[in-house]
Amino acid sequence: MTVHIRMDDRVEADRLEDMAQGVVGKPLDRPDGARKASGTAAYAMDSLPDGACFGVLARATIAAGRLEGVDAAAVEALPGVRAVIVDERMLRNPAQGMAGKAPVQDPHEIAYFGQPVALVVAESFEQARHGAIALVLRLEARAGAVVGPDDAGVEIETPEKKQQSSGDLDAAMREAVFGVDQTYTTPVHASAAMEPHASIAQWDEDRLTLRGSYQMLRFNRAELADALGIDEKNVRILAPFVGGGFGSKLGIAPEAVAAAIAAQRLGVPVAVPMSRQQVFEGVMRRSETTQRIRLAAGADGRLTGIGHEALVSNLPGEKFSEPVTQATPFLYRGENRVIGHRIARVNRTCAGSVRAPGEAVGVTMLEIAMDELAAAAGIDPVELRLRNIPDEDPTQQIPFSSHKLAEALRSGADRFGWDRRRTEPGQVRDGEWLVGMGMASAVRVNMLVEAKARVSLSSDGHALVETDMTDIGTGTYAILTQIAAEMLGLPMDRVETRLGDTDLPPGSGSGGSFGAASNGTAVFMACEEIRRMICERFGCEAHDLTLKDGRAIAGNRSVPLAEILGGEDLVAEGHAEPGDAEDKVRQATYGSYFAEVGVNAVTGETRVRRMLGVFAAGRILNAKTARSQCLGGMTFGIGMALTEEIFHDPRDGHIVNRDFAEYHLPVNADVPQIDVVLLEERDAWANPLQAKGIGELGICGAAAAVVNAIHNATGVRVRDLPATLDKVLEGLERQGG
Amino acid sequence: MRPFEFTRAESAADAMRLAGDGATIIAGGTNLLDLMKLEVMAPQALVDINRLDLGDIDEAEGGGLRIGALVRNSDLAADRRVRDAYPMLAEALLAGASGQLRNKATTGGNLLQRTRCYYYYDTAMPCNKREPGSGCQAIGGITRLHALFGASEHCIATHPSDMAVALRALDARVEIQSQDGVTRMLPLGDFYRLPGDTPHIETVLVPGDLITAVLLPAPAGARQTYRKVRDRASYAFALVSVAGVLDVEDGRIVRPALAFGGVGHMPWRNPEVEALLEGEAPSVDLFAEAAARLVAEAEPQGGNAFKIPLLRRTLQAVLRELTEA
Ligand SMILES: Cc1cc2nc3c(=O)[nH]c(=O)nc-3n(C[C@H](O)[C@H](O)[C@H](O)COP(=O)(O)OP(=O)(O)OC[C@H]3O[C@@H](n4cnc5c(N)ncnc54)[C@H](O)[C@@H]3O)c2cc1C
Ligand code: SF4
């Protein structure tokens, strides 16, 4: 029995509020936590079947051109080597998120330096790796490869659908009392998930089972099947534990298809792990961005115009382009608007979704521009934002579903001690350190994605939740278990959640912060149906039924569930789908960030001293996992502000810093005390849980708080991230400091 | 990684014989194994020296310490005598790598760790250090980590060690045994080589040589510091670093010794800068002059030009710190 909900309207009843178990929202430990901490949770490479061979991908070493062939014989003669495979079906790059079909295939056409073009399979991993390094490729470089968005001859697309304008921004800029017109840049980022990509493929006749590290299994199954030219019914993907994805594992990637091809050809299971270096260059990057931002404001700081025009890049033929301006149309007021979006086609590692595509870089730069406006207008940055919160979505002229930006700003300022900030930059000194405070708004669009989940209540009063949804470290196991436990009135340890298996009902997959709300709704719907079945058996009305601690209670009757079930299991499937609500209201999550930094007056080094994030994302399903998501987002915000940057070689576009020694994520010493405050909120337009996504909210502007604090500390405005010490130093030297 | 032979040396003579026959010495392995996995280095044979009796720190005659080549970076940094008399050495060690790596890394291995030049690590790139005669792809590429001093048109790499910078300022000498039974003691300036047209040859060691110890003379000065500037708060190599030791007597700087990391193919020292400071009263102007002298001969590569003001400023701050009360 499938029960369905399509979100066309607001959901009046807040059903979770009526429940009695009292687990939803609690800061509960993850049910899978102990397994992870003790090393017994099996990640992709942890479940090697007997007799598996290993494959290692070999990379193209030109920016563009053709692979004419490989000297396979020399490598095949090496000890342990079983095969050298170059196959038309191999992927140029991973599928984009939710593509559901294969990306560009054929290793003979080379589009970027580092593209995987061949697979060497051997009995041991070491033999395969040596074979892959030793393999000589016959490459025909194509003249005129374009490796950077600023290179001569670069082709730039201006897709009609992605340009917007209303009013007259030029006039607004001319008439503005205060204005900002600046160009900002962000570098290429790596997703940098802890677990590198790895796939183990095994065939049983014409059925393929793939253990992998993927975020969106129902799409990945379709992508893998399409790439191999087989029916997706014959593909099963397993990813019970995923060591982070940050977007890089949204779509099926080259190692999975290569593993499947090799396993089929050799008739043995084949494991293809990617090295850290291969993940950096052969998976996905976040595009660099150049953003021209214009703000026009009156004497009171109220915006009359906003312009946000972005240039991003991607490989030829890729549909995805970093949606830099996603939140700009609705974050602040202003009648006169220009949104621009251009895409440079470059021969560089594929650009795709990385950690909050769009807002992470777009809101960050907009929030730096807002800081510049605040300084120009002499208005407190918090106050400036408060004055510019619109009453409705100013572009679409539709209401907001719920909106807590003002509360987040006020409450954050209060808790952080914002009133102690000196307006004039460079006023606070602590030895060699210049100290300053900065802030920024947080915003991320909210989405619901189709999802199904099955809930079974067994006759002995245990429940099982099943979906192919993944837990990529976010806490899916915890929150789905909590929702079912709450709805069915069971203690947490009587509910089991099974994830990451395409044989289970298709969930939304993990991405875009929509996992908890989408799959949670599917679980909720299934539980509602089971409750209905219990009412039937129990002979009571839905609103009279209380389920708690394994008992059904109605009126003065209290009976163990097992008694009601009478040896029977109850099974229901929930199905959630987005609907017209998306067009009727603007749904987003909001928040605020506050940061205090010290900038070394000698060296220009910046260290964040403390940071606060205040967030509103509807109902919080688990206060602990939600907080962890925010902590992680803000940590990546520190990385974006200060350290993270991929260097592409200017001559061939290859990624120069391809490991964690030289791609600088923040380490513990870079991350100070971070406080997270989650505001009480319900969003009845979002879903019956009234919960919104929180996964990415922590990064959507966080870096701006840090960069704005650098300005407050020093008077140096960095518009080109990351704000590495050389850039700050240049400013300090210019000031004669 | 290519197949290789592996032998555990039971004696120094064993180790030197095998190394003389072409085996590569492995100590902590924290650098060598990474390079072997990438096939940047592909030795036919390894000789493991971890069983040799080179793990002690002893007091030397006439003051000073003799640090065995196998003393782990963590142990050296934690040694009471080091912390008391050579605090900058402990600081330099603790500023390097991570706790886990320092537990494995040895004194000898640290001195001989290879450059962190990105292009050296990528076997698809021409690199004279990895493959003599193939060219230097770093020139004209990404040069954030590269040298200001002593580079050549064949190689612009830097030596990444923090420890070695402190040792150079402390006038340490490397004790080397060779197969023919001779023991040499070389100051770091004579131990390391500039790249010239043979950047693959980084030291004066010849096959069969074994580093057995590092000798620290009695500390030259009580005022010491090691200052490392880097792209994040921990676990990053130095963009620039300054190791400084001096004393102030009767209001004048005496016996200054300064070494600089992140700027040269070896820990850099400039006798002119030290001479300029010797016997002078500390002052802002003096420090500025010393810093200007130091960077006068810097040859930036584009991406590392920022190191010039950075080094200048860092040196001045170090001198201020060392001469304050
Ligand atoms: C991610 C990362 C970050 C790091 N960060 C820093 C940093 O910030 N600062 C820093 O200073 N270092 C840093 N290191 C480098 C670390 O300090 C070195 O890897 C370590 O010191 C090498 O010592 P080892 O004993 O492991 O050497 P090994 O890897 O065993 O050997 C290195 C070389 O020395 C030779 N060798 C070793 N012992 C002898 C001997 N007794 N006689 C002759 N030859 C010998 C070997 O043949 C080999 O060529 C980092 C390393 C990593 C991996
Ligand atoms: S700088 Fe030296 S190590 Fe780097 S690529 Fe050039 S030759 Fe190789």
pLDDT for A144-186, tens place per residue? 899 999 999 999 999 999 999 999 999 999 999 999 999 999 9
B317 touches chain A (CB under 8 A): yes
Q: Find all residues with CB under 8 Å of B45, minimum gap 6, and list them.
A: B4, B5, B6, B7, B18, B21, B22, B23, B24
For residue B236, which residues of chain A lie inside 8 Å, CB to CB? 661, 664
More confident call, B3 vs A225: A225
Residue A126 has pLDDT above 80, yes or no: yes
A432 touches chain B (CB under 8 A): yes
What is the predicted pLDDT for the residue at A470? 98
Q: Do A657 and B118 touch (CB under 8 A)?
A: yes
A696 noted as active-site residue: yes
* Of the options 3.30.870.10, 3.10.129.10, 3.30.365.10, 3.30.420.10, the CATH number for the domain spanning A2-41+449-578: 3.30.365.10
CA angle, corner A274, sides to A273 and A275, nearest 5? Answer: 120
Q: Do A656 and B313 touch (CB under 8 A)?
A: no
**And the tokens for A185?**
């840049």
Residue A703 in 3-state DSSP? helix
The DSSP H or E segment spanning B13 is helix B12-20
Q: Find all residues with CB under 8 Å of A578, minimum gap 6, and list them.
A: A6, A7, A447, A448, A449, A450
Tell me the per-residue pLDDT of A473-530, one tens digit each, with 9 for 90 and over: 999 999 999 999 999 999 999 999 999 999 999 999 999 999 999 999 999 999 999 9
For residue B229, which residues of chain A lie inside 8 Å, CB to CB? 603, 605, 725
- Determine the average pLDDT of the residues in B143-167: 98
Q: Do A642 and B232 touch (CB under 8 A)?
A: yes
Contact yes or no for B42/B2 (Cβ under 8 A): yes
A670 touches chain B (CB under 8 A): yes
Residue B78 has pLDDT above 90, yes or no: yes
- Amino acid at site A120: V
Beta strand extents in A315-427 (DSSP E only) = 336-345
Q: Among B38, B313, B318, which would you mutate to test the A interface (most chain A Cβ atoms within 10 Å of its Cβ)?
A: B313
- In angstroms, rounded to a whole number, what is the distance separating the alpha carbons of residues A525 and A484? 10
Local structure of residue A344 (DSSP, 8 states): E
Nearest chain B residue to A603 by CA distance is B310
- Determine the average pLDDT of the residues in A365-375: 98
Tell me which residue in B37, B118, B239 faces A656 most closely, judged by beta carbons: B118
Residue B1 has pLDDT above 80, yes or no: no
Residue A737 has pLDDT above 80, yes or no: no
Place of tokens 């730039």: A156
What is the predicted pLDDT for the residue at B2? 85
A373 Ramachandran zone, left/alpha/beta (phi>0; psi -120 to 50): alpha
* φ and ψ at residue B237, rounded to 5 degrees: -75, 160
* φ and ψ at residue A374, rounded to 5 degrees: -60, -45
Residue A86 in 3-state DSSP? coil
User: Looking at ligand 1, which residue's alpha carbon is closest to its atom 17?
Assistant: B110
Work out the pLDDT band at B95, boundaries 50, 70, 90.
very high
Residue B61 has pLDDT above 90, yes or no: no
Q: Do B141 and A126 touch (CB under 8 A)?
A: no
Residue B221 has pLDDT above 90, yes or no: no
- What's the CATH architecture for A49-142+196-281? 2-Layer Sandwich (3.30)
From B38, B156, B263, mutation site for ligand 2 pocket: most ligand atoms within 8 A of C-beta: B156
**And the tokens for A637?**
């915000």
Residue A391 in 3-state DSSP? coil
For residue B237, which residues of chain A lie inside 8 Å, CB to CB? 661
- In angstroms, rounded to a whole number, what is the distance separating the alpha carbons of residues A99 and A225? 13
Tell me the per-residue pLDDT of A726-736, one tens digit each, with 9 for 90 and over: 999 999 999 98
Q: Which of B305, B290, B281, B236 is nearest to B258 (CA)?
A: B290
**And the tokens for A454?**
């099955």
- In angstroms, rounded to a whole number, what is the distance separating the alpha carbons of residues B157 and B263? 9
Q: Which ligand ends up closest to the CA of B23?
A: 1
> Ligand 2 — pocket residues by CB below 6 A?
B 115, 117, 119-120, 127-129, 136-138, 155-157, 199
Chain A, 340-399: which have a CB under 8 Å from a chain B CB?
none
* φ and ψ at residue A278, rounded to 5 degrees: -65, -35
B236 touches chain A (CB under 8 A): yes
Q: Which ligand ends up closest to the CA of B117?
A: 2
Residue A665 has pLDDT above 80, yes or no: yes
Ligand 2 centre and the CA of B297: distance in Å? Answer: 21
Tell me which residue in A602, A642, A661 faces B313 most closely, judged by beta carbons: A602
- In angstroms, rounded to a whole number, what is the distance separating the alpha carbons of residues A559 and A554? 9
Q: Which of B67, B164, B44 is nearest to B112 (CA)?
A: B164
Nearest chain B residue to A655 by CA distance is B118
User: Looking at ligand 1, which residue's alpha carbon is closest to its atom 1?
Assistant: A661
- In angstroms, rounded to a whole number, what is the distance separating the alpha carbons of residues B127 and B147? 15
**And the tokens for A347?**
């021969």
- In angstroms, rounded to a whole number, what is the distance separating the alpha carbons of residues A16 and A33? 25
How far does the CA of residue B213 sit from the closest CA of chain A (Å)? 29
Work out the pLDDT band at B280, boundaries 50, 70, 90.
very high
CA-to-CA dists, residue A557 to A304, A544, A551, A554, A586, angstroms: 63, 11, 10, 5, 45
Ligand 2 centre and the CA of A65: distance in Å? Answer: 26
Work out the pLDDT band at A99, boundaries 50, 70, 90.
very high
- In angstroms, rounded to a whole number, what is the distance separating the alpha carbons of residues A294 and A332? 13
A-to-B residue pairs, Cβ atoms closer than 8 angstroms: 87
3-state secondary structure A408-429: HHHHHHHHHCHHHCCCCCCCEE
Contact yes or no for A277/A195 (Cβ under 8 A): no
Local structure of residue B268 (DSSP, 8 states): B
Residue A358 in 3-state DSSP? coil
Residue A610 in 3-state DSSP? strand
Does the predicted model carry a pTM greater than 0.90? yes
CA angle, corner A629, sides to A628 and A635, nearest 5? Answer: 90
A662 touches chain B (CB under 8 A): yes
Q: Do B310 and A726 touch (CB under 8 A)?
A: yes
Tell me the per-residue pLDDT of B104-140, one tens digit each, with 9 for 90 and over: 999 999 999 999 999 999 999 999 999 999 999 999 9
Contact yes or no for A303/A333 (Cβ under 8 A): yes
Report the atom number in ligand 2 closest to the C-alpha of B141.
Answer: 5
B116 touches chain A (CB under 8 A): yes
Contact yes or no for A493/A199 (Cβ under 8 A): no
Residue B20 has pLDDT above 90, yes or no: yes
- In angstroms, rounded to a whole number, what is the distance separating the alpha carbons of residues A702 and A682? 24
Domain A49-142+196-281 matches domain A356-447+586-734 at the CATH topology level: yes
How far does the CA of residue A43 sit from the closest CA of chain B (Å)? 23
A658 touches chain B (CB under 8 A): yes
Place of tokens 């009976």: A559
The β-bridge partners of A120 are A56, A84
Place of tokens 């040596």: A130
Cα A254 from chain centroid (whole Å): 20
Nearest chain B residue to A665 by CA distance is B232
User: What mean pLDDT value characterizes chain A?
Assistant: 97
Q: Which position among A195, A223, A596, A696 bears the catalytic label? A: A696
For residue A658, which residues of chain B lie inside 8 Å, CB to CB? 122
Q: Find all residues with CB under 8 Å of A718, minimum gap 6, and list them.
A: A707, A710, A711, A727, A728, A731
Let me know if domain A356-447+586-734 sits in CATH 3.40.50.150: no
What is the predicted pLDDT for the residue at B220? 78
Orientation of helix A702-714 relative to helix A725-734, angle to 10°:
30
> Ligand 1 — pocket residues by CB below 6 A?
A 661; B 24-32, 34, 49, 69, 73, 96-97, 101, 104-106, 108-110, 112-113, 160-163, 210-211, 237
Domains in chain A: boundaries: 2-41+449-578, 49-142+196-281, 356-447+586-734
Chain A, 16-45: which have a CB under 8 Å from a chain B CB?
none
For residue B118, which residues of chain A lie inside 8 Å, CB to CB? 647, 656-657, 662
Q: Among B232, B240, B311, which would you mutate to test the A interface (most chain A Cβ atoms within 10 Å of its Cβ)?
A: B232
What is the predicted pLDDT for the residue at A623? 98
For residue A661, which residues of chain B lie inside 8 Å, CB to CB? 116, 235-237
Tell me the per-residue pLDDT of A412-452, one tens digit each, with 9 for 90 and over: 999 999 999 999 999 999 999 999 999 999 999 999 999 99
- In angstroms, rounded to a whole number, what is the distance separating the alpha carbons of residues A256 and A254? 6
A661 Ramachandran zone, left/alpha/beta (phi>0; psi -120 to 50): alpha
- In angstroms, rounded to a whole number, what is the distance separating the alpha carbons of residues A549 and A547? 7
Residue B207 has pLDDT above 80, yes or no: yes
Q: Which of B165, B161, B192 is nearest to B176 (CA)?
A: B192
What is the predicted pLDDT for the residue at A1? 81
For residue B310, which residues of chain A lie inside 8 Å, CB to CB? 603-604, 725-726, 729
From B41, B118, B127, B197, mutation site for ligand 2 pocket: most ligand atoms within 8 A of C-beta: B127
B120 touches chain A (CB under 8 A): no
- In angstroms, rounded to a whole number, what is the distance separating the alpha carbons of residues A42 and A31? 15
A654 touches chain B (CB under 8 A): yes
pLDDT above 70: percentage of residues in chain A: 100
Report the atom number in ligand 1 closest to the C-alpha of B112.
Answer: 34
Work out the pLDDT band at A42, boundaries 50, 70, 90.
very high
- Amino acid at site A609: R
Q: Which ligand ends up closest to the CA of B37?
A: 1
Respond yes or no on whether ipTM tops 0.85: yes
- Determine the average pLDDT of the residues in A86-93: 98
Pairing mode, strands A303-314 and B210-216: unpaired
Work out the pLDDT band at A651, boundaries 50, 70, 90.
very high
A603 touches chain B (CB under 8 A): yes
Cα A25 from chain centroid (whole Å): 22
A720 touches chain B (CB under 8 A): no
Q: Find all residues with CB under 8 Å of B206, minimum gap 6, and list them.
A: B178
